[in-house]
Homo-oligomer: A and B are copies of this chain.
Amino acid sequence: MSEMNGAESLVRTLHNGGVDVCFANPGTSEMHFVDALDRTGLMRCVLGLAETVVTGAADGYYRMAGKPACTLLHLAPGVTNAGANLHNAKKARSGIVNIVGEHARQHLAYDAPLSADVEGASDVVSDWVRTSRASATLGTDAAEALAVAKSHPGKIATLIAPADLTWSPGGVVAEQAPEETIPRVDDAVIDKAADLLDGDGNTAIILSGRVLGDVEALKALARIAGATGARLLSPTSNRRAERGAGVPDVTRIPYVVEKSLELLGDLDNAIFVEAPAPVGFFAYPNRPSELLPPGCRELTLAGFGEDGSDAVIRLADHIKAPAYRARRRKAPAAPGGVPINARSLGMALGAALPEGAVVVDESITLGRDVYGNCATAAPHSWLSLTGGAIGAGIPMATGAALGAPGRPVVNVQADGSAMYSIQALWTQARENLDVTTVILANQDYAILKGELTKVGANPGRSALDMLEIGRPPLNFVQLAEGLGVSAERVSDAASLSRAIRESMDRPGPHVIEAMIDQ
């Protein structure tokens, strides 16, 4: 039997498969992992002060690095704390390997204080869950989890490791699974899409997944659009979009159901590329869930598991679309010293973005115009809240900075959502990450006020008390400084734009509290 304990075999197997970052919030049942990570020195270990930081960071890391990190979580409560950002990562189809410690097997018979259903908690937010059964197979289990996480699209793989397996000898470093080949789309489907584009009616190509983050694929789509008049659309929220000057623009389907119905209402054909048919975030009385008009023909050119980039490049060639020519578009102008609102915020950000910036967007209500305003800014990557579980932004920005070294990250962050995971600022300070967080301080759950209006109510004090967060006012400058991050407050759009640019030029994290004009 090998002398290596189970924990070390797991760490070595993951590292052999390319995992070199571990986002961690360990507890007692993970101490042998902590020890193995320490002794081997194979991974950068990044501590989060709460589990939602850990998993949100792993999501942001995957979106930028294009490969999974691992997380280290403590028992069932660790998984539930981590759950909302795992939900977001799962909806983004990001790849993550969660390592979750469980009580030693002989301890499970007792209802110890921390005993609970780890597998059940993991099932809710994972694509793949396994509890290891022997020290000798922790390595092969880890290799399988990593293969799942790395597949196309990415997946959440959760490996539960009873503590006795981690401390016992007999660990074996496992072989890596062979690299998966991403299936190409059949020629027949390309033909069908070409026929649809050649026919009558208004056509939209709705894209997400890796395609939206692949500039070459976007150029092929722009060729198709140019040749056929098809519109390019994306879902409201996407894992990663490449955007900015020289990159073809893709229109985002709005969050508000009425606006998306208006945008999509005249469509006769919809072609999906690594994207779902558009549906509302929520259902409302007397509103449809499906946003495409009745009778609209639907064709999936490439499913989530297929190679959408290859498909659109082949389609562009198949229809003999002319070569791509970038349209010249005016870069965003910096705003003057006007109050900060949805419009001036977009101008301030668009003018300030340096080339290669990464935007992490949890701007919710106020940011709905920001996306459009940044379309002509310097080329950048845009990461958004894919699962609707707020509290993703600050953790995701943390992980994105680690996944894209040398690229400055700006996190456009609603205040209410910031308060779910404000703890992540501390990790940014600890790791000295180049993240600028712009807090949109409107002191409201503004999105919910909009939703309450749809209920048709004339809200009273008790309702407003559940939607307004300005009593007492949150002071994000103090909160940031308390977490070790420098901070400032700005009240006009010109100052905001300047502050963003200055912060992105400086190393290390910084918080800008943008006081919103209501």
Interface residues of A (CB under 8 A from B): 24, 26-29, 31-32, 34-35, 37-39, 41, 45, 47, 49-50, 52, 72, 76-77, 80-81, 83-84, 87, 91, 103-104, 106-107, 109-114, 116-117, 120-121, 123-125, 163-164, 167, 236-237, 276, 279-283, 285, 289-290, 386-389, 391, 416, 419-420, 422-423, 426, 429-430, 447-448, 451-452, 454-455, 457, 459-463, 465-467, 469, 471-479, 481-484
Partner of A483, one of B26, B474, B484: B474
Partner of A38, one of B237, B290, B463, B474: B463
Q: Is the CB of B80 within 8 A of A38?
A: no
Task: Write the chain B residue with the least CB distance to A235.
Answer: B113
Given contacts A27-B448, A479-B483, contact A460 B38 (CB under 8 A): yes
Q: Is the CB of A124 within 8 A of B117?
A: yes
Q: Is the CB of B466 within 8 A of A45?
A: yes
Chain B residues near A109 (CB-CB < 8 A): 289
Partner of A283, one of B107, B279, B472: B107
Q: Is the CB of B463 within 8 A of A37?
A: yes
Chain B residues near A391 (CB-CB < 8 A): 50, 81
Given contacts A38-B459, A283-B163, contact A448 B31 (CB under 8 A): yes
Partner of A389, one of B39, B77, B279: B77
Chain B residues near A52 (CB-CB < 8 A): 81
Q: Is the CB of A281 within 8 A of B31?
A: no
Q: Is the CB of A452 within 8 A of B34?
A: yes
Q: Is the CB of A481 within 8 A of B475?
A: yes
Q: Is the CB of B83 within 8 A of A121?
A: yes
Q: List 18 A-B contacts (CB under 8 A).
A: A26-B466, A28-B447, A34-B459, A35-B463, A37-B462, A47-B465, A50-B419, A81-B81, A87-B116, A104-B283, A107-B279, A107-B280, A113-B387, A113-B388, A426-B472, A472-B484, A478-B481, A479-B479
Chain B residues near A39 (CB-CB < 8 A): 457, 460
Q: What is the distance, in angstroms, from A264's C-beta to the closest C-beta of chain B?
A: 15
Q: What is the distance, in angstroms, from A202's C-beta to the closest C-beta of chain B?
A: 23
Q: Is the CB of B125 within 8 A of A80?
A: yes
Instruction: Apart from A45-B465, A106-B283, A120-B124, list 6 A-B contacts with CB within 8 A.
Output: A47-B469, A77-B83, A107-B282, A112-B282, A113-B388, A167-B285
